[in-house]
Every structure is written in C-alpha cells, then in structure tokens.
Chain A
Amino acid sequence: MTLLLSHLSRHFTDAAALDDVSLAIAPGEFLALLGSSGSGKTTLLRILAGLDYPQSGSVTRGGHDLLSMNARERKVGLVFQHYALFRHLTVTENIAFGLRVRPRHARPSRTEITDRVEKLLKRVQLEGYGGRYPAQLSGGQRQRVALARALAVEPDLLLLDEPFGALDAQVRIALRRWLRNLHEELGLTTVFVTHDQEEALELADRVAVMNRGRIEQVGSPEAIYQQPATPFVCEFIGKVNKFELQREQDRMICGALDFGADLWAKRYDRAVAYIRPEHLALATDTGWKARLRHIYLAGSVAHLELALDTSEQLIEVDVASEDLLRLGLQQGAELYVQARTATVFPLANDTGEAKSEDRRVLRPHQQPY
C-alpha cells in the first residue's frame, strides 16, 4: 500500500516546520529523510507516527486517511533517537508493551506474547538479555531493544529517528549494515531521519533532501549525488567548489575562466556553477592555471587546495594518492586544472534566485580522460 503525503504544512509559532511537502512512499521502500536540524524532517516523521499533526495536507495509505487514525490503528513502529525505552521495565516487558496494552479481544495470549518476544530477542541478537533493565545495556543494545519493541506490534510502517545518532562510529557502521539486512529480510516500508549524508546515501533506496521545511530533491542516492537538482543539494551533499558566473556575449565566464557556451539563449546574465573536487583533474599544459597551496593526504585520496591564478579563488581537487606521488607535486608548484563537468544554475535577472528548473551540465574542458 503506497503511503501518500500531499501538501503537508505545519507551522510553529516562530517558523514553518513543513511547507507544502508532498511525497509518495512505495511499499517495502527504504527511504531516508536527509536534512540539517530545523529542516523539518523530524516533524514529518512525528506526523507519520501520530505525535504531531499538520495544519493542512493529507496522509493516506492505500486510500485510507492516516491522520484520522489513532496510533493503534495506524500500525506504525517508531524508534526514537534516544530510544525512549521504559526505564522501569525489563527488556522483555519493554518489547511486550505494545501487545499488553491492547484491548482484551485483540490481545494475544500470555504464551503467544512470550513466544513473540523470544523470537524478536533472537532476531535482534539479544537472547538472554530479556531480564535486564535498559540502564544495564550498551547504546547499541538499547537501540536493538527499541527496534524489537517497535516490531512487536507488527507495523506496516517503520519509522526511525536518527537511528545511529547516539552511537560510537564503529557500532554505527556495524548496525547500519545489520539494519539494511534486516530491512531486506522483512521487506517492511521504512522511513528514517538523518542529518548524516553518508548514512543516507549508503543505506537508503531513495533519499529525500529537506531544507527549511521543503523537500529539495527526492531520488536514488546516485541521482542525489550525481545530478543534484538544486543549489542547496549541491552544497549540502558531498564537497563542492562554487563559482559565480557571468554571461559575456554567448559565453559563461568566471573572471578569466571560460565555462563554455551560454545554453539559455541570453535569458540570464548570471549563474552559479558547482564542481565536485573529483570532477577536477590536474594537467601539465592546458586548462586553468593554479598554484598548489596545500596537500591533505587522507589515505587513498589526496585533497589538494589550489589557488587559481586569475581570481585568487581557492578550490579543492581530489586526486588518487598514487597519482600525486607519480606527479611528484610539491607545495607551491604551478599546474593546470581541468573541469570535466560543472552543474550550473542560472540566476533570475530580477530576483537573483536560482532557477533550478533550468539547470544544465557544462563541460568547460572536453577531456577524453
């Protein structure tokens, strides 16, 4: 059953948390809501869980209005960022909670509940921990208890709020893989909120990038990274070099740098271009002249900081560490940089607003390699 969010808006007294958000979530999908704090992603999750309500808009599942249902009817499982385990209950009692609070006619028998809890404990690899209290568990264990508790009510939709936010880096990566596997086993529609782009890109089938209450772009991780739809997505995802362009007759230029032909039939005078560090290549004879300012070696990749000769602008170029060695580059060396692809957004002449719908990819240096 497809989950359909249409034109959701939620305003708090001081700001809009959600501003006309529409989104379709396919059954069995693993969707990430990615954004910085205050982007509205948690508000969206809370609306799906029934802990908050929009001022306008609708949420339907298979044609049924979700907003008019109470939590029990929604069949939604939610894992809180800090897990929100019941501190006065044991692990077993925590997991069984959702079953025990059901009205008598819908409540499974005592033995059934015990069975289900046992199965869930096995599923989250916490057999033998049933008698412990949350305070006696590590962060990763608590998170798995929270997950088992959410799964116990057999939800149709699983919601995770910053599921790895409170964990150590190592535990986080292990749990990430484990969660991905679990999702593949259960095939449960899952929505998770994160501010960590790496997490979103690695884990999700689709990523919705949110900014100031709006969804900037929804797409596969590849699409988000390779074809960012808005300037915000360009700047938010990964690292990027930004150039401010001007139209000179039928060319787009940044100072003395030529970015290629004007593709908008002289409709725009200015534009902004984004080039990822790995889309810049070093060359010895042609391209943009630059001087090497710093080398930051990070294992297999070297991040080079260069100053462009013409504009004094600092740019970052990623090269393989091997290539760097081969070239024998030193700080202060003079070299040339070639841009393979640049994502360009023209700016409206009157307002200066970026026209995302007129986005184009330019190739300043047609380079075979």
Chain B
Amino acid sequence: MRTTAHVSRPVSWQRRALHVLLILAVVCFMSVFLLLPLAVVFVEGLRGGIAAFIDTIGQREALASMRLTLLVAAIAVPLNLIFGVAAAWAMTRFQFRGKALLGAFIDLPFSVSPVISGLLYVLLFGAQGWFGPWLEQHGVRIIFAVPSLVLVTIFITLPFVARELIPLMQAQGSEEEEAARVLGATGWQMFFRVTLPNIRWALMYGVLLCNARAMGEFGAVSVVSGHIRGLTTTMPLEIEMLYNGYNEYDHIGAFAVASLLALLALLTLAVKTLLEWRYSDQIAPHTPGGH
C-alpha cells in the first residue's frame, strides 16, 4: 500500500481489487488448511479443561511416549548431522566414481514410502528376516523394540541435512578452504574456522527440519514399533492408539498428546524465526562477491 501511494500514476481499481483478492485468497487458504486444523488440535486437547489435560499427559504411557520421542530424535538427529555434513562434503569437494549414484541414494528416503522403509527394516532384522535369527540367538532385539525406532528414524530423516548443504557448498566452492590450507590451517582448523561458519545457517535449517521429521514420523515407525504402549510407542503412535482406541477410546487424550507434539513443532518454528530475526544481518550480507 505504501508503494502505491508514492506512484504518481493513479492505480486502477481493477489492479487494486486484484491485490486484495489475491491476499484474501492466500489468507483464506492458509486459515482453512493450516490454522484451523492447528487450532482444532489445541481446542480439542483442552476440551475437558486444563486439569483433564494435565491429567492425561501426566499418565505413565503418555510420559513414556514423550521420553521415547525425544530419545529417538536425540540419537537420530546428531547422527544425521554428522552424516549430512560428510555426505555434502563428499558430494561437493571430491570427484569419484558413482557420485551421481550417491546423490540418488541420499534422496531415496524421500522417494520411498515410509511404510516401505519400515518394512525393509522388518525384513532385515525381524524374526524371519535376514539377520533376525542370528540376532535372536545373541539376545539382541531390534524389531518391536527401541533400536528399530531409532534405525528407521535415521533412515527417514537421512536426506534433510545433506540436501540443505549440498547446493550451498556447491555454490560457495572450495576456494576459501584451499586458501585456509595454503595459509597453514590443519584439516580440522579449516573445517571449524572456515567451512562450518560458512554453512552454519543451512546446517541449522537442515537440523531443524530433520528434528521436526524425526519427532513427527509415523508410518515407518508404526511398522517396526509393535505398539507396546509405554515401551515402543512414540508420540505420533501414542496419539493414533489413543484416537483409534486400541485399548480404550480416548478422544481427549489423543488431542492432548497431539497438541504437545504440535507445540514442539511450533517451538522449532519459533526458534528458527527467532534466529533468523536475530542474525538477519549476518545471513544477508555474506553472499559471495568479487566475481
């Protein structure tokens, strides 16, 4: 609106109407498909009042599911952080045979249905799977236990960090790293003083996305979990079980846990926005120059 006020040429009412119409359309779409469902989650969760809400999420199974979700994310996200950086490094700094293939494999978890990802792990480690009997003999249980949840979550969230970093590292090139080497930096010094500062924002986005998916994953986790309440149910599984009434139908319980999960997602979003706002000056001006 401010810009139109400065234009000497009168803006036709059709143009202005179009502006308003477009903005309205976006707002409506967002409201119906995003805000409304989000609001429903909280409203339904709090339907029985604050006391019922606290009572529900204070139950043993609910607390266990929260602990499990955080535990799975706490293992999967750091591992994928390391893998993502290493993969992005390999993809952008080295020439080797099968590089295109590696790129395709990094994308695999995006293209394969999560249910299939879960099934793959059952086929590998399940009782009738390839390694299942051997593991059974040695007293290691993976499927229908916590290790399988961690494994499939790593699989599902594997592309996030690498995919965020590869285009950036490609664009930045390796000249700064080479400059650091010539100036006498060791490999680690080069990484921590030059590479990491240059990719930190992309890395942070990648980690946040990875984390959001790790906490929210349902399909793959559902296949391998075995749904043992209090032991192998993460928050998304707990919500589904409460809602569909595997044990007893618990509408309020489902939405109470769902609202907690949504809250975690909103928190992630808030952290990202806060960091963006706080460091906007650093994100913007550090575009490569001098070309």
Residues of A within 8 A of B (CB): 49-51, 71-72, 76-78, 80, 82-88, 97-98, 101-102, 133-136, 139, 142, 149-150, 153, 166
6 sample A-B contacts, Cβ–Cβ < 8 Å, listed by A number:
A71-B182, A76-B182, A84-B178, A85-B179, A87-B176, A101-B183
Contacts of A97 in B (CB 8 A): 180, 183, 185, 193
Contacts of A142 in B (CB 8 A): 289-290
Residues of B within 8 A of A (CB): 175-176, 178-186, 189, 193-194, 197-198, 282, 285-291
Could you tell me if A83 and B290 are in contact, using CB atoms closer than 8 angstroms?
A: yes
**Residue in contact with A87 in the complex, picked from B182, B193, B286, CB distance below 8 Å:** B286
Contacts of B282 in A (CB 8 A): 88
Could you tell me if B184 and A153 are in contact, using CB atoms closer than 8 angstroms?
A: yes
Could you tell me if A88 and B197 are in contact, using CB atoms closer than 8 angstroms?
A: yes
A102 to B186, CA, bound (A): 9
Could you tell me if B290 and A101 are in contact, using CB atoms closer than 8 angstroms?
A: no
A88 to B197, CA, bound (A): 7
What are the nearest 5 A-B pairs in CB distance? Answer: A98-B183, A84-B175, A72-B184, A84-B179, A101-B185
- Expressed in whole angstroms, the minimum distance between the Cβ of A37 and any Cβ of chain B is 16
A136 to B289, CA, bound (A): 9
Could you tell me if B287 and A135 are in contact, using CB atoms closer than 8 angstroms?
A: yes
Contacts of B181 in A (CB 8 A): 50-51, 71
**Residue in contact with B290 in the complex, picked from A71, A72, A153, A166, CB distance below 8 Å:** A166
A135 to B197, CA, bound (A): 15
- Expressed in whole angstroms, the minimum distance between the Cβ of B287 and any Cβ of chain A is 7
A218 to B214, CA, bound (A): 63
**Residue in contact with B184 in the complex, picked from A80, A88, A101, A166, CB distance below 8 Å:** A101
- Expressed in whole angstroms, the minimum distance between the Cβ of A148 and any Cβ of chain B is 12
Contact A139 to B290, CB < 8 A, known contacts A88-B197, A98-B184: yes
Could you tell me if B286 and A88 are in contact, using CB atoms closer than 8 angstroms?
A: yes
Instruction: Name the CB-closest residue of A to B177.
Output: A84
- Expressed in whole angstroms, the minimum distance between the Cβ of A146 and any Cβ of chain B is 8
- Expressed in whole angstroms, the minimum distance between the Cβ of A50 and any Cβ of chain B is 7
A50 to B282, CA, bound (A): 32
Could you tell me if B288 and A71 are in contact, using CB atoms closer than 8 angstroms?
A: no
Could you tell me if A88 and B179 are in contact, using CB atoms closer than 8 angstroms?
A: no
Instruction: Name the CB-closest residue of A to B181.
Output: A71
Instruction: Name the CB-closest residue of A to B190.
Output: A101
Could you tell me if B198 and A80 are in contact, using CB atoms closer than 8 angstroms?
A: no
Could you tell me if B175 and A78 are in contact, using CB atoms closer than 8 angstroms?
A: no
Contacts of A82 in B (CB 8 A): 175, 290-291
- Expressed in whole angstroms, the minimum distance between the Cβ of B77 and any Cβ of chain A is 24
Contacts of B178 in A (CB 8 A): 51, 80, 84
Q: Which of B175, B184, B193, B286 has the most CB of A within 10 A?
A: B184
**Residue in contact with A149 in the complex, picked from B175, B183, B186, B285, CB distance below 8 Å:** B183
- Expressed in whole angstroms, the minimum distance between the Cβ of B235 and any Cβ of chain A is 38
- Expressed in whole angstroms, the minimum distance between the Cβ of B232 and any Cβ of chain A is 44
A84 to B288, CA, bound (A): 9
Could you tell me if A71 and B198 are in contact, using CB atoms closer than 8 angstroms?
A: no
A142 to B181, CA, bound (A): 19
- Expressed in whole angstroms, the minimum distance between the Cβ of B189 and any Cβ of chain A is 5
Contact A86 to B285, CB < 8 A, known contacts A51-B182, A71-B182, A149-B183: no
Instruction: Name the CB-closest residue of A to B175.
Output: A84
**Residue in contact with A101 in the complex, picked from B176, B193, B198, B288, CB distance below 8 Å:** B193
A86 to B186, CA, bound (A): 16
Contact A78 to B179, CB < 8 A, known contacts A88-B197, A134-B290, A135-B287: yes
Instruction: Name the CB-closest residue of A to B186.
Output: A101
